[in-house]
C-alpha cells in the first residue's frame, strides 16, 4: 500500500473537477487525513474503476464516449491523445490507486466501529 500522502497526490492528478469524489478524497489524503465520509471514498473507488474499464475498452479498439470540459466526445482516445503505452500506464497507475484506496477504506472505517 502506498502512503496516504502519495495516494492523495495521485488522486489529485486524476480528479475531474473540484466537485468530484476523487478530488475530495485526494485533498484529505494529501495532508495524511482520513476522509470523514466512507460513502464518498466508495464513490471515488467506483469512479476510478469506471476509468479503468474505459481504458481497457479503448485498448480493445472500442470508441469510448466521454464528457469533457468542452462538451462530449465519442472517441476518448483521440480526444485525449492517448498512445497505447499511455493507456497501459494509466491502467497500471489506476489499479494501484484503487487497491490502496480499498486498503485504506478497510483500515479507516473498520477501526471506527
Q: Please give the pLDDT value at position 64.
A: 87
pLDDT at residue 88, rounded to an integer:
95
pLDDT of residue 82: 86
Report pLDDT for 81: 83
The reported pTM is: 0.88
Give the pLDDT band of residue 12 (cuts 50, 70, 90): very high
* Helix (H) or strand (E) segment spanning residue 67: strand 66-68
Q: Is the pLDDT of residue 67 over 80?
A: no
Q: Which residues of 28-60 are buried (b: 16+ CB within 10 A; e: fewer)?
A: bbbeeebbeeeebbbbbbebbeebbebbeebee
Average pLDDT over residues 37-52: 95
- pLDDT one-digit tens code per residue, 15-26: 877 889 999 999
Q: Where are the domains of the chain?
A: 4-110
Amino acid at each position: 500500500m502506498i502512503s496516504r500522502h502519495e495516494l492523495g497526490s495521485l488522486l489529485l492528478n486524476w480528479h475531474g473537477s473540484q466537485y468530484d469524489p476523487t478530488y475530495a478524497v485526494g485533498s484529505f489524503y494529501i495532508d495524511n487525513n482520513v476522509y470523514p465520509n466512507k460513502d464518498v471514498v466508495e464513490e471515488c473507488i467506483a469512479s476510478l474503476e469506471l476509468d479503468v474499464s474505459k481504458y481497457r475498452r479503448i485498448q480493445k479498439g472500442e470508441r469510448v464516449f466521454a464528457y469533457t470540459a468542452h462538451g462530449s466526445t465519442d472517441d476518448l482516445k483521440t480526444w485525449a491523445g492517448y498512445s497505447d503505452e499511455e493507456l497501459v500506464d494509466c491502467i497500471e497507475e489506476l489499479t494501484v490507486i484503487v487497491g490502496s484506496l480499498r486498503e485504506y477504506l478497510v483500515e479507516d472505517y473498520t477501526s471506527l466501529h
